[in-house]
Homo-oligomer: A and B are copies of this chain.
Amino acid sequence: MPKKVDHQAQRALIADALMRVAATRGLEAVSLRHVATEAGVSTGMVQHYFRTKDQMMIFALDMVSAGVQARLAAEAGDQDAVPTPRALVRGLLLQMLPLDEQRATEGKVALAFLSYAAVRPHVAAELRENTAQMRAFFADQIRATSPAERGVDPELAATALLALVDGLGVHVLGGHYSPDAALAALDQYLDSVLPAEAAGPRPRADRTITPPAPRTVGP
């Protein structure tokens, strides 16, 4: 077996270029040639690593969600001060908002893929498990603070929380309001579900998130 190259790295290189194209010119501008040019390689090489355009798209999609999950895991593991669940949740949510240039790019790509998946069921299936896992985690954290005190269902609250963050992100990307406004709205909402400092810190086992390994496509 000759010329040992890191397939995953090459694919990541291409997928990175794809994301750059998608973020700046939209998903519809993503073509083999544009991506190849952006990556500084030949279209033949792109074809070598992705038999079809759809495979390339799906790989890129996996990469962005893996990236987000990795950031979330880092954020969750970083806070050794073991703050309140609310602070933890807030920290995680902040990672999902387009508060800086990089995350805005990611957000645009994610948004593009969202509508891409809306008419491609098998692509949509890819995204589902991610959100499901995340929702379970957030539900746990919510359970930690407000132990069924009021009539709040943690599952529903987590669902709303994720939807809210996604919605805020979309609106910020659309320029409807500033990231600060989104943050303020989020904080006010958090006040109602995770009341200020109701409960103390929780055992560490409760707040680990394991990012899934990026999917391997080929050999």
Q: Is the CB of B124 within 8 A of A174?
A: yes
User: Contact mask A159-188 → B, CB, 8 Å, 1/0?
Assistant: 110111111101101111100011011101
Task: Enumerate chain B residues within 8 angstroms of A188, measured Cβ to Cβ.
Answer: 151-153, 156-157, 160
Q: CB-nearest residue of chain B relative to A153? A: B188
Q: Is the CB of B159 within 8 A of A128?
A: no
Task: Enumerate chain B residues within 8 angstroms of A193, measured Cβ to Cβ.
Answer: 192
Task: Enumerate chain B residues within 8 angstroms of A55, measured Cβ to Cβ.
Answer: none
Q: Is the CB of B160 within 8 A of A164?
A: yes
Task: Enumerate chain B residues within 8 angstroms of A91, measured Cβ to Cβ.
Answer: none
Chief secondary structure at chain A's binding surface: helix
Please state the number of chain copies in the assembly: 2
Give complex CA distance A125, B189 in Å.
27
User: Contact mask A35-75 → B, CB, 8 Å, 1/0?
Assistant: 00000000000000000000000000000000000000000
Task: Determine if A203 is an interface residue (Cβ-Cβ < 8 Å).
Answer: no
Task: Enumerate chain B residues within 8 angstroms of A137, measured Cβ to Cβ.
Answer: none
Stretch of A5-13, A76-84, A115-123, A204-212 on the interface side: A115-123
Task: Determine if A197 is an interface residue (Cβ-Cβ < 8 Å).
Answer: no
Task: Enumerate chain B residues within 8 angstroms of A114, measured Cβ to Cβ.
Answer: 111, 115, 170, 174
In addition to A114-B170, A121-B175, 7 A-B residue pairs with Cβ atoms within 8 Å of each other are A118-B173, A132-B176, A156-B181, A156-B184, A156-B185, A164-B167, A166-B166
Contacts A/B (CB < 8 Å), 27 sampled: A24-B119, A25-B119, A26-B115, A27-B28, A111-B114, A117-B174, A118-B173, A118-B174, A128-B174, A131-B171, A132-B176, A151-B188, A152-B188, A153-B188, A157-B188, A159-B168, A159-B171, A159-B182, A159-B185, A160-B164, A163-B164, A163-B171, A163-B182, A164-B164, A164-B167, A166-B166, A192-B192
Across the A-B interface, the 6 shortest Cβ-Cβ residue pairs: A163-B167, A167-B167, A166-B167, A192-B192, A160-B185, A159-B185
